[in-house]
Structure 1
């Protein structure tokens, strides 16, 4: 019998949680029979790269395209991470094994998913990043616990992404490998700043491989 599992999906800047709920329909295998999905929405705030327009955003983004060298709103990221950790803690308190909890996201949501996994004190089932980026400076490595380093990462990125170029994804992958983490990086030729069905197939297989059986 499949153990209860939990997938937290974090949307990109300007999007909403409900607009992403269809993603769960890609995962209809028996392994996901007891999987609960959550699609929270980001708070509304002024976003610098959008001329200060107020929109759903997990933290501020200063420039587009986003590169590994782009300035980072670390204070805003840490505040958003606290909220994600509260959602994870609630699920753990309800009885879900932390190693069956997956934190995932697209673009800015992928960056927040990554930050949340790196700073969570326990080993999680995994973190899946789609077209994301590392929202911290490299000094964050000192705050990653030995338990967090055991959390596997899947990173999917299109080679034709003009908002978060694949080089930003590759820099994130390199950072994770240097930190001693297991990161599977998949580049998708001709894919822009979006997710395609092939990426969901990879995500499906990867998540099945990391689900823990009920004990």
Structure 2
């Protein structure tokens, strides 16, 4: 397998038994979310967890007048709503990258049920799409300030592997970038159309396009429950 670009944080107790893979948003890098490893490793429950923060390639972004930026797929407009303009192939290509990172951890001895995939913004869109497309069942997904633009293609390609897999979706009700309504639309699509049965949609009052201490606290408990982590 070709090398997959990422910021990697080893488990403090070896061998690693769990893996958390987190995809960043547009214009960011794996370093942008690597704080999460330090944050979680303060808790002894995560001593055997390995952390992977993938780096997106640099691509032209249409809504930035084709300026180059790190991104998992192109964004034609900042409304995130017009499916006809969506970068379907770019999104699917990056879902393939999600699959490659999960496969890498399986190849390193981590059982699929002990692997979680999550992300923020664009990375959250990948986590959502992966919940419909991954060829194996994993331990859980989380989506922070996420959205979906490729509904029709997902309905053509989806499988049933992760219908019971837990999904955490957090969204601020004052998000000026990925509007709260886009998060609601994603929740409705993945529960009603894709058929995810264990989907938690958390609303954070006053939160913009970011995270918050309350969201992180609830996310940590969700991750612990999915990976069956105990002190």
Bin for the TM-score computed over the shorter chain: over 0.9
Residue 6 and residue 135 in structure 1: after superposition, are their counterparts in 2 closer, same or farther (change >3 A)? farther
What does residue range 32-181 of structure 1 map to in structure 2 within 5 Å? 32-67=46-81, 71-178=85-192, 179-181=194-196
Contact 1:67–1:164 (8 Å) recurs in 2: no
Contact 1:158–1:188 (8 Å) recurs in 2: yes
Which range is displaced more, 47-56 or 1-10?
1-10
What TM-score results when the alignment is normalised by the length of structure 2? Answer: 0.86
Residue 65 and residue 156 in structure 1: after superposition, are their counterparts in 2 closer, same or farther (change >3 A)? same
* Whole-Å separation in 2 of the counterparts to 1:132 and 1:78: 16
SS of 2:127 mapped into structure 1: helix
1:172 Cα offset (Å): 0.7
Contact 1:60–1:76 (8 Å) recurs in 2: yes
How many residues matched?
213
* Whole-Å separation in 1 of the counterparts to 2:53 and 2:181: 28
Contact 1:106–1:131 (8 Å) recurs in 2: yes
| Ranges of 4+ aligned residues in structure 1 off by more than 6 Å | none
Work out whether 1:17 is the aligned partner of 2:30.
yes
Contact 2:24–2:55 (8 Å) recurs in 1: yes
User: Which runs of 5 or more structure 1 residues have no equivalent in the other structure?
Assistant: none
Which range is displaced more, 117-126 or 159-168?
117-126
Contact 1:138–1:175 (8 Å) recurs in 2: no
Contact 1:62–1:72 (8 Å) recurs in 2: yes
User: Which runs of 5 or more structure 2 residues have no equivalent in the other structure?
Assistant: 1-12
* Whole-Å separation in 2 of the counterparts to 1:68 and 1:125: 31
- Backbone CA RMSD of aligned residues: 1.9
* Whole-Å separation in 1 of the counterparts to 2:82 and 2:187: 11
Work out whether 1:196 is the aligned partner of 2:209.
no
Contact 2:16–2:50 (8 Å) recurs in 1: no
What TM-score results when the alignment is normalised by the length of structure 1? Answer: 0.92
**Cα distance per residue 1:134-177 (max 9 Å; x no partner):** 13124513432222222211000000001111111011111111
Aligned to 2:6: none
Contact 2:129–2:154 (8 Å) recurs in 1: no
1:121 Cα offset (Å): 1.3
Aligned to 1:186: 202
Which range is displaced more, 196-205 or 70-79?
70-79
